Structure 1
Amino acid sequence: MAFSIGSDFSASFTQDSDEVKEMFCEVCDKHDKQYAPAEGFCEECFEYLCGTCIKYHKIYIKSHTIKDNDNMPQDFCLQKCSVHQDKLVKFYCQDCKKFACTECKTQDHGNCSMVSHLPTLVPGIENSKEIKELTENLDTFMKDLENTEKHVNINMKCVASQETVTLDKVMKKKKEILSVFDKHQKKVIQDFDKKIEETLKRLKQQKKEKIEKLQEHQRKLEKLLNDEENEIKKKIQTMKKNDEKNFAGNHRENL
């Protein structure tokens, strides 16, 4: 499963940030315009593949490494590239501060040193400080549980009572871990969305400035051409008048 940013950058941030979609086969989407759930990921092509496409990929490109459904990366972005409409945005160049598909990565970021696959930018939730602290607390609790079990043969009533208490503690710890994990995951996604939104705002502003400059150049060019055209017309009129005067003078002389 992976977080979807949507099919249109301009509307991507109006969607519910908790929306989750399955990764799909990019080959089927590109060539047949059909949806098929991804069952693997090619590490060389950086493409998600369905079961059928994986089969033929292994036959015709044996040197490529295919990660199965359990081990393939989980992208947080299903956005199509604005330049290459059939490609997904998969990378972020920290040198250029730009997002890129596989084509853009090859064409525009070949000399960049900090181009990362998007899933690798998301911090490992399982290594967070909160999860480590809760895990340590759980280890301590498990040791307490082992000590409790040693007294089973001494007092059965005490064991029965302790069992209830222990189960309550386990359920409480479980809820705490899941709660922290959920909060941390949402924060990671929100931070990632914020970075994308900031980048898009910057790109839109750059686009606006480029358009304004081009329009200004166009106005200047049109004015220059109009001035040239008027100047040529004036010269033609002057030449025409001179020719008429010369013709009239020659005519009188002949008479």
Structure 2
Amino acid sequence: MASNVENVSASQLRVSSEMQEMFCEECEQYSTEYKPAEGYCVDCCMYLCEVSLLYHKGQQHNIQDKYTMPQDSCSEKCSAHSNKRIKFYCENCEEIACSECKKTHHQNCLDVSDLAAVVKGDEQAKELEDLLEDMGELSEDLENTKKEIKSNVEYIASQETIEKLKISNQNAKRVADYSKLQEEIIENFDKQMEETTANMKRERQKLVEKLSEEMRKFQEKLDNAEKDLTKACKSLTTSDQTNLDSLMEKTLTIIDELKISSANLKGEENSGKKCHLFIAIKNAKHKTRNLRNSLSEIKKENRIKYNSTEQPQTNQTNQTPESNTSHFSYEETPEPRKETTAAFYSSIETHYSGFQTSCLLSVNTLTVAYSEANSLLLVQDIMQKKPAFQTIYMFSKLWAITKVKDNKVAVTLPNEGTIRLITFSNSMTVTNSDDIKVKGRCYGISCSNDYLIVSTVSHFFHSGKVQILDMSGNVLKVLDKDCNNKALFSNPLYLALSPDNETIYVSDWDKNTVTCLTFDGKIKAIYKDNQLLGPCQLTTDELGSVYVCGRLSNNVHQLSPLLNKVKILLDGSEELAYPVSVSHCMNKNRLYLGMWSNNIKVFNLSQV
């Protein structure tokens, strides 16, 4: 794998061959003397001299002699207690601690271990290897992003030249067309002139002079329009260039920070001080997560405007060109559709089946709502070969799930007409749960800033609607009718939002359609295809492409932001078994497809 970060295997971890001399911690604490340690008290986690050992033996403590006691200690001082050395690591809180921190902050924690005992094994070698591999992937992702930005820079540099040439060619054609029109007028007049008197010859001359003046004015208008359009074109490309320059600067900064973080890790590894390496790994993990979040923001902003120069259609038989007040328009066009290819990556066995929806809480955590099982499944460490699973059982049927914040999701409970907001701790345990009542049976759900978008269905009347709510459950807008006051939906079970949170996508199970509309209820497009049957969950990527699962057609369709069919991305011959849920990971550019059977298929996406 090409990367700015060198991969380091666990076998490259080295421990200093020199045995460190340990000193009695009681003497150091109470008398500021440094006496060599002759043993180690396992119960107190302290190195002790010969005199202190006698006291601890009298207390029936577990004592190790100087030959069996731990030989690796940490010399770093606690950031909160400068006179205390770091000696412990809390598995529950994932924090290092001195003896004072252990008493005050971790007295109720069950897994607080001596740091020397923690680093004695080879676990951190695997952790280091995984971290460096992740950093290597991030580095590769950064390089690809840099190439994409460079490509966009080259594109906008050439756009102005192309548009100016197009304008010049269009001007020449219009002048030629207008000249031809004038020639036809003159020819018709010449025929009449043969039958007229000398007076008509004078009228002809006047007409020629008039047309010549009109041509001069028309040419002048075209020249002015060309100047205005060139100025507008330059202004737009300059704006894109400024934005791309800023994104490139941010990307290069992340690359430099990643290199520094990698170099620090290697330096600590080569020092042979495993405690220091342990702390460096933890710090690098936090740093890498922050860098990845920064890269995600860069990807969202790495877009350029696609513009096109157009000229109005005029009927030159009843409208003269010089009377036209609009000669050219320079408008932003929808982003060109980009086809995507999908390559099978892995399969995650979940042991649940049936209707489901999913959403990513983070790059490492996938949440899946299983309707028939009344269960919310948390799939953690999804980047690993063996992810961890945690099941939260509900007392009612649940349907759809969406991310509200990094540690908060919203789940619909259709039988109760309730939206349940669930908050998780860092260790993914439920810390809070609030309910919002909804009028009707609620199914699909998405979140946009401080608003919830939810679909409700009345199965008795075979009709559905989309409601926009605030976080207290107050209905702000109801979307259920088209411009002809006809019902928009029959069975809208799933929702998704565009990356800019300005467009709502709704899949309708009964109509086999996907509808694209604004928050004001304006219909932008409706997608219907005989190869899409039983549409289920749908999602969007950072470029606005829409991916929708066909449960009954056993495929996944890729659509443009305005619901033009790009392609059938996956069908039944490509590892599919009736997909019903789909989530897109922007950081890895992956699709997580939940099957009707008990597994989730993972696919890597790439642009054609």
TM-score scaled by structure 1?
A: 0.41
Report which structure shows greater RCO (CA 8 Å, sep ≥6).
Answer: 1
More helix by share: 1
- Structure that is richer in strand per residue: 2
